[in-house]
């Protein structure tokens, strides 16, 4: 019964989602480390090293990283921006976690106090990750279905970070974006399907969790929203959205990484704790001379090492603010703002895409302090809020409402 779903996937390439930390794999095997050291610097890596030296002259460096590419003044960010403006980065791969969506009002997973895992007491589960565990779901699907009512796409809008990624595509630079997110905001902002790998699945389709027989996604959503349990018409087991649970196979599209990461000439890592395998280890599969730029609230994964790999750069802080700064360095900010405006105008001109609240509102767009601020006439206004102090965040991004309307 499961062969129809897995027949096109090589039997030796089956990979399941795991919560095991990638810490032991950050530096790779000893053989890989020696091989990396033997590789000569590529022209791109040489340019990046020289740019970082020039950018950091006379400027304070972040503590704990030996001054290598982590300087507080944004030298690492500026050096990568200059490489991109020089046309040296034409195959950009983006690795994204839930942190790119917190500015849309969607909570991350591990931020103490505000993260999803910190607020699951109402679901009466033995441990937080159980809500995404396929074995636990088999015994009791109700906790996940209760949470699914909140997680189903449609209540949130893409934010500036999503549109930055779309601008990479618009500029012809995006090779692929690999996302851990199941909120579909990458699709909603206009990133084409062929440029997107939803490594942990999505709510767009549904199937039996036991025999994998497809089930109409809208019917599954309607039943779940009404408090009912959708069941398979073939084996009567429980149907769920095709979100990848712990213990389940990753989608076949995930294996595009074997083609994409060797081609990459720039890796952007945004809003992730790099704790979920095998996704976390993807960042270690680019060539050693390829620049890896981490945009996050905290250093994670291989960026916790001291010293960093010679081509590694990171910029720590609020993700949306950092990405906006990056876009301004590239000269893209106005284009992104206009793209956000046009996308919202298009949405408002298409009545079938609006919910009942949207239909009663007129949205007037204003630009203030380089942000799109929607004024909802007759409704509430979206206000930027500063998040509380976080640590060990799944997304390492300050949780604030989107610069586009978020319901």
Question: What's the gap between Cα 149 and its chain centre?
Answer: 21
* Residue of 200, 209, 257, 370 marked catalytic: 200
CA distance 143 to 141: 6
**Pairing of the two strands 371-377 and 362-368:** antiparallel
CA distance 203 to 378: 31
Q: Which residue has the tokens 């129809």?
A: 4
How many residues can be counted in the chain? 407
Q: Are 47 and 23 in contact (CB under 8 A)?
A: no
3-class SS at 60?
A: coil
CA distance 163 to 323: 10
Question: Could you tell me which of 22, 249, 248, 276 has the C-alpha nearest to residue 136?
Answer: 248
CA distance 89 to 102: 28
Q: What are residue 377's DSSP bridge partners?
A: 362
Phi, psi of 301 (to 5 degrees): 55, -130
Q: Please report the DSSP string for 311-338 in residue order.
A: TEEEEES-HHHHHHHHHHHHT-HHHHHH
Q: Which residue has the tokens 């618009």?
A: 170
Q: Using only the alpha carbons of the chain, give its radius of gyration.
A: 21
User: Distances in Å between the alpha carbon of 147 and those of 225, 233, 234, 273?
Assistant: 10, 24, 26, 22
3-class SS at 202?
A: strand
Print the SS3 string covering 360-396. CCEEEEEEECCEEEEEEECCCCCCCCCCCCCCCCCCC
Query: What residues contact 48, with CB distance under 8 A and at least 6 apart?
Result: 79, 80, 83, 291, 311, 313
CA distance 289 to 267: 11
370 is catalytic: no
Q: What is the set of active-site residues?
A: 200
């Amino acid at each position: 019964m499961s062969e129809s779903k897995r027949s096109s996937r090589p039997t030796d390439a089956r990979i399941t989602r795991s919560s095991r930390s990638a810490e032991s794999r950050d530096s790779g095997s000893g053989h890989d480390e020696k091989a990396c050291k033997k590789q000569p610097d590529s022209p791109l890596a040489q340019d990046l090293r020289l740019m970082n030296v020039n950018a950091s002259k006379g400027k304070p460096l972040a503590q704990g990283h030996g001054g290598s590419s982590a300087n507080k003044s944004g030298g690492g960010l500026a050096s990568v921006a200059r490489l991109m403006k020089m046309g040296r980065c034409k195959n950009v791969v983006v690795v994204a976690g839930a942190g790119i969506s917190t500015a849309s009002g969607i909570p991350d997973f591990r931020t103490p106090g505000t993260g999803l895992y910190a607020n699951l007491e109402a679901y009466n589960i033995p441990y937080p990750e159980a809500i995404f565990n396929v074995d636990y779901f088999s015994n009791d699907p109700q906790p996940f279905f209760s949470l699914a009512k909140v997680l189903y796409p449609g209540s949130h809008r893409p934010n500036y970070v999503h549109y930055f990624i779309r601008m990479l595509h618009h500029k012809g630079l995006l090779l692929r974006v690999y996302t851990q997110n199941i909120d579909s905001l990458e699709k909603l902002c206009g990133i084409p399907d062929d440029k997107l790998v939803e490594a942990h699945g999505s709510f767009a389709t549904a199937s039996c969790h036991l025999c994998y027989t497809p089930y109409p996604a809208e019917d599954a959503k309607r039943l779940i929203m009404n408090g009912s349990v959708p069941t398979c018409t073939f084996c009567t087991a429980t149907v769920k959205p095709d979100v990848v649970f712990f213990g389940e196979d990753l989608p076949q599209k995930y294996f595009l990484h074997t083609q994409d990461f060797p081609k990459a000439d720039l890796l952007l890592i945004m809003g992730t704790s790099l704790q979920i395998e095998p996704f976390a280890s993807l960042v270690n599969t680019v060539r050693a001379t390829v620049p890896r730029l981490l945009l996050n609230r905290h250093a994670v994964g291989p960026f916790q090492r001291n010293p960093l790999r010679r081509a590694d750069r990171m910029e720590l802080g609020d993700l949306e603010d950092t990405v906006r700064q990056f876009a301004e360095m590239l000269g893209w900010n106005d284009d992104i703002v206009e793209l956000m405006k046009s996308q919202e105008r298009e949405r408002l001109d298409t009545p079938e895409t609006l919910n009942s609240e949207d239909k009663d509102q007129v949205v007037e767009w204003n630009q203030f302090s380089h942000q799109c601020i929607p004024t909802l006439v007759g409704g509430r206004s979206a206000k930027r809020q500063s998040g509380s102090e976080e640590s060990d965040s799944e997304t390492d991004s300050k949780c604030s409402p989107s610069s586009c309307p978020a319901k």
